[in-house]
Structures are given as structure tokens and as C-alpha cells.
Structure 1
Amino acid sequence: MSISTTTGNRPLPPKRLKAPRQPGWYIPWIFVGVFMVVLAVNGVMVHFAVSSWTGIETENHFIKGLGYNNDLAGARAQAERGWQVQPDFTSTEPRKGVIAITVRDKQGQILKDAAVTVTMIRPISEGHDKTLSLPYLGEGRYGAPVELDLEGQWDMRFVITHATGDYQDRKRVWVQ
């Protein structure tokens, strides 16, 4: 009998053979992988949703919704008046421009003695809006210079109040 130096006098344990994997052993890992991909994509989407929100929301949305029929009636009355309104915005320098609005009635007569208010609204961010009262310049034209905080697209919302009725509209303008 020979003595082994690695095991001494102990007999070697029998080698264990690994049982072969059963078919489909990887299927639970596929489910885990798919769920991990879904979680990662959702995490990225939540990040972009939270980091890109500009804070713009409609204030008093329920009350505004209740007044929708009144808004439709006002739009019909405005169309019946048939005023000819020509809004204009001209950029003069970077972030500066001139707002001009020409107002005539249905027959083309000049409408003076109106109160014209223009609100410049930045559609993609809040805190930059400006409201101006335009003075009468003659010949049915109201206008004033304006300086805005940012370049780019702006909504020019104008409201005209006159003894014969009201008018409101908006125009998208580009500020250089």
C-alpha cells in the first residue's frame, strides 16, 4: 500500500458529476432581463419628464372649462362685427421690436378710442410674459416698442376693447 502525500491515508472522495442542466433553465433569467430593461427605460423617461418640465400649466382650468360656451358665443359675436384687424410685429434689434395693430370696422372705418392691450407670452417657459397697453398713433393704428427677455417664438395675444364691442386674437411671432 502506498501512502499519498496529498490525502494521507484517507481514501479520495468520489468525484461528483454535475447533473446536466434541464432544458429551459434560462427562461426565468429572460424574464428578469426584460423587467430590468423596462425599469431602466422607465427610469430614463421619468428623469426626462421631471427635468424638462417648464412649470407651465393652466390656472383655474375647471373654471375656464365652465366658461367655454360663453367663449363660443363671444367668438360668434366677434365674427359678426367683422372688424378688420391687422397685427404686426417687427424685430428691430435682438430681443427688441415694434408692435403695431391696425383696427377698422366692418365698413373699413377707422376705430379710434379703443383700448388695446397686448400680452407677449413665451409658450415654452413661464416668467417672461409682458403686457403692454398700446397708445393710439392715428389712422386706426395702435403701437409701441417692446423689449423681451428671450429670442425665439412668442405668442402675441391682443385684446381690443371698444364701445361697439370687443375683439381678441393671437398671433405667433418670431423675435430675433
Structure 2
Amino acid sequence: MSTKANAGRSPRPITGRTVLLYFVSFFGVIFAVNFYMVRVAVSSFSGVETESAYKAGLSFKNDVAAAHAQDALHWTVEAALQHGDAPGIVITARDAEGQALMGLLPEIRLAHPTDKRRDVPLEVVELSPGRFRSVTPMPEGQWDLVIGLNRDEETVFRSKSRIVL
């Protein structure tokens, strides 16, 4: 069955040059897409969680000692998410007897679970002794809430918990 357009035309022969052109074009497209994907992957996430695993390993003993010292204090530190007109996180810190802790400087941040570059430090105000509220707008998503309570330039309490905003 032939049409008028194809009636006088003979089929085009497949030559070595045509096969080479198709072959090079096919792998050229594959190479270009792979190059683009690798570039996007490397620029969006480096894959490095700690800058120096060796130094992190050396400080492990200090971290364990700080955790034992923190447990010995028997403090209760609670974080609550406030909704409404002024959303924020309210942190309440109490000692073993239930008394509000005074003289603490909080360092609170939302740590992104996979990319340290997206961490958000939260500015806080002290509502009353041992009670703090974040005033920084918080982005939605899944975050690690990192609470550090400092006294005289020393971190006396540290916690990390996963939250969803």
C-alpha cells in the first residue's frame, strides 16, 4: 500500500555514518542528563554530617560526661507548641523540686534533619524565670528542636527532639 508522497521515493539506506550519529547522540544525551543530575545532587547536599569524624570521636567522652551530669540534676525541661495569633514554642525549665530555674540563657534552634545549612536559630524572650518563648517565625516541616540552656558560658542542659510544624 503506497501513498502519492511515498510513491516515487526509495527507502533511505542505513549507513555506518547514520548509525554512528545515532549512537553518539544517544550517549551524548545520557551523559548530559547524568552530568546535570550529579551537579544538582552535589550542590544541594554535600552528604557531610560532621566536619571531622576524628574530632567528633575525641569529644565523645566529654559528651558522655555532660549527659551524666545533666541526668544527675533531675531537671524537667518541657517544650510546648503554641498555636493561634502568635505561634511559637514555649520552654519551661524546673529543677528537681519543681522550682523555676533562674539565670539561664537559652539557645534554641530548629535543626533540619538532613541539611545543616537550613537550620533556623530561634530568638527567645523570657516570660518569667525558667519560662521562655520563641519569637522567630518558624517554617513548616519536620525539624529537630535543639534546646541548650547555658549558665556562665557553660551548657548545663541540652536536648534534641523531632517535631513537625
* 1:90 corresponding residue in structure 2: 82
Alignment partner of 1:127: what SS?
Answer: helix
Whether the aligned pair in 2 keeps the contact of 1:116 and 1:135 (CA below 8 Å) is no
- How many residues get paired? 130
Alignment partner of 1:109: what SS?
Answer: coil
Q: Which has the higher contact order (CA 8 A, sep 6+)?
A: 1
Shift in CA distance, 106/67, structure 1 to aligned 2, threshold 3 Å: same
Q: Distance in 1 between matches of 2:113 and 2:82?
A: 19
User: What is the CA RMSD across the aligned residues, in angstroms?
Assistant: 3.0
TM-score, normalising length from structure 1?
0.61
Q: Distance in 1 between matches of 2:147 and 2:122?
A: 9
For residues 67-106 of structure 1, the aligned pairs below 5 Å read 67-90=59-82, 92=84, 97-106=87-96
TM-score, normalising length from structure 2?
0.65
Shift in CA distance, 121/97, structure 1 to aligned 2, threshold 3 Å: farther
Do structure 1's residue 55 and structure 2's residue 38 form an aligned pair? no
Unaligned runs of 5+ in 1: 1-46
Q: Distance in 2 between matches of 1:128 and 1:113?
A: 30
* 2:103 corresponding residue in structure 1: 113
Shift in CA distance, 92/173, structure 1 to aligned 2, threshold 3 Å: farther
Whether the aligned pair in 2 keeps the contact of 1:120 and 1:156 (CA below 8 Å) is yes
Segments of 4+ moved more than 4 angstroms: 47-53
Whether the aligned pair in 2 keeps the contact of 1:99 and 1:146 (CA below 8 Å) is no
Whether the aligned pair in 2 keeps the contact of 1:55 and 1:126 (CA below 8 Å) is no
* 2:13 corresponding residue in structure 1: none
Whether the aligned pair in 2 keeps the contact of 1:101 and 1:143 (CA below 8 Å) is yes
Whether the aligned pair in 2 keeps the contact of 1:153 and 1:172 (CA below 8 Å) is yes
The one-character-per-residue Cα deviations of 1:87-120 (angstroms, maximum 9, x if unpaired) are 1233558xx8402110000111110221011011
* Matched residue type, 1:55: S
Whether the aligned pair in 2 keeps the contact of 1:112 and 1:136 (CA below 8 Å) is no
C-alpha displacement at 1:134, in angstroms? 2.2
Unaligned runs of 5+ in 2: 1-35
Q: Among residues 133, 152, 156, which one is paired with 2:141 in the alignment? A: 152
C-alpha displacement at 1:49, in angstroms? 7.8
For the pair shown, the structure with the greater C-alpha radius of gyration is 1
Whether the aligned pair in 2 keeps the contact of 1:89 and 1:97 (CA below 8 Å) is yes
Whether the aligned pair in 2 keeps the contact of 1:92 and 1:98 (CA below 8 Å) is no
The one-character-per-residue Cα deviations of 1:45-64 (angstroms, maximum 9, x if unpaired) are xx988754622421222111
* 2:160 corresponding residue in structure 1: 170
